Chains A and B, each alone.
Chain A
Amino acid sequence: MSAAAVIGRAAASIEVEKLSRHFDGLKAVDEISFSVGHKEIFGFLGPNGAGKTTTISMLCTLLKPTSGRATLNGFSIATQQDEVRQSIGIVFQDPTLDDQLTARENLQFHAMLYNVPREEREERARRVLDMVGLGPRARDKVETFSGGMKRRLEIARGLMHYPHVLFLDEPTLGLDPQTRSAIWTHVHELRQEYDITVFLTTHYMDEAENCDRIAIIDHGRIAALDTPGNLKHGVGGDIITMRAADVEAARAEIREKFNIEAAVTEVDEGDRTGGKRVRLEVPSGRTVLPQLLKGLATDVQSVSVREPTLDDVFLSLTGRQIREESADKMEFMRTRIRARRMRR
Chain B
Amino acid sequence: MRRFRAIYIIWLRDLKRHFRDRARVFGSLASPIIFIFILGEGIGSSFALGSALGGLDYKQFIFPGILGMTVLFAGVFASVSIVWDREFGFLKEMLVAPVPTWTIALGKVISGATIAAFQGALMLLLAPFAGVNISPLLILELLPMMFLVAFSMTGMGILVATRLKSMQGFQMVMNFFMMPMFFVSGAMFPLKNAPQWLDGVSRIDPLTYGVDAMRAIMLPGYPNRFPLGVDILVVGLLSAVMITISVTAFSRQA
Q: Does B20 contact A (CB under 8 A)?
A: yes
Query: Is A101 a contact of B13 with CB atoms below 8 Å?
Result: yes
Give the contact stretch, choosing among A89-97, A187-195, A226-234.
A89-97
CB distance from A243 to the nearest CB of B (A): 46
Assembled-state Cα–Cα distance A60/B93 (Å): 12
Total residues of chain A contacting the partner, CB 8 A: 26
CB distance from B108 to the nearest CB of A (A): 14
Query: Is A112 a contact of B9 with CB atoms below 8 Å?
Result: yes
B→A interface (CB under 8 Å): 2, 5-6, 8-9, 12-13, 16-17, 20-21, 88-99
Hey, which chain B residues are within 8 Å of A100, CB to CB? 16-17, 20-21
Look across to chain A and name the residue whose beta carbon is closest to the beta carbon of B85. Answer: A98
Q: Does A335 contact B (CB under 8 A)?
A: no
Query: Total A-B residue pairs with C-beta atoms closer than 8 Å?
Result: 59
Assembled-state Cα–Cα distance A94/B20 (Å): 24
Hey, which chain A residues are within 8 Å of B9, CB to CB? 109, 112-113
A62 with B89, Cβ < 8 A, contacts A98-B17, A101-B13, A113-B9 known? no
Query: Is B16 a contact of A101 with CB atoms below 8 Å?
Result: yes
Query: Is B98 a contact of A86 with CB atoms below 8 Å?
Result: yes
CB distance from B101 to the nearest CB of A (A): 11
Look across to chain A and name the residue whose beta carbon is closest to the beta carbon of B2. Answer: A115
A60 with B96, Cβ < 8 A, contacts A101-B13, A109-B9, A115-B2 known? yes
Main secondary structure, interface of B, reads helix
Hey, which chain A residues are within 8 Å of B93, CB to CB? 96-97, 110
Would you list the 9 A-B pairs with minimal beta carbon distance, nearest first? A96-B89, A85-B98, A113-B97, A96-B93, A82-B98, A96-B92, A86-B98, A100-B17, A98-B90
Query: Is A92 a contact of B97 with CB atoms below 8 Å?
Result: no
Assembled-state Cα–Cα distance A95/B93 (Å): 9
A113 with B95, Cβ < 8 A, contacts A96-B90, A98-B17, A101-B16 known? no
Hey, which chain A residues are within 8 Å of B21, CB to CB? 100
Query: Is B16 a contact of A85 with CB atoms below 8 Å?
Result: no
Query: Is A114 a contact of B98 with CB atoms below 8 Å?
Result: yes
Q: Does A212 contact B (CB under 8 A)?
A: no
Query: Is B95 a contact of A94 with CB atoms below 8 Å?
Result: no
Query: Is B95 a contact of A98 with CB atoms below 8 Å?
Result: no
Query: Is A85 a contact of B96 with CB atoms below 8 Å?
Result: yes
Assembled-state Cα–Cα distance A113/B92 (Å): 13
Interface centre among B90, B91, B94 (most CB of A within 10 A): B90
Q: Does A40 contact B (CB under 8 A)?
A: no
Query: Is B92 a contact of A109 with CB atoms below 8 Å?
Result: no
Could you name 10 residue pairs across A and B whose Cβ atoms are closer than 8 Å?
A82-B98, A86-B98, A94-B89, A94-B92, A97-B90, A98-B13, A101-B13, A101-B16, A113-B99, A114-B97
Hey, which chain A residues are within 8 Å of B97, CB to CB? 85, 110, 113-114
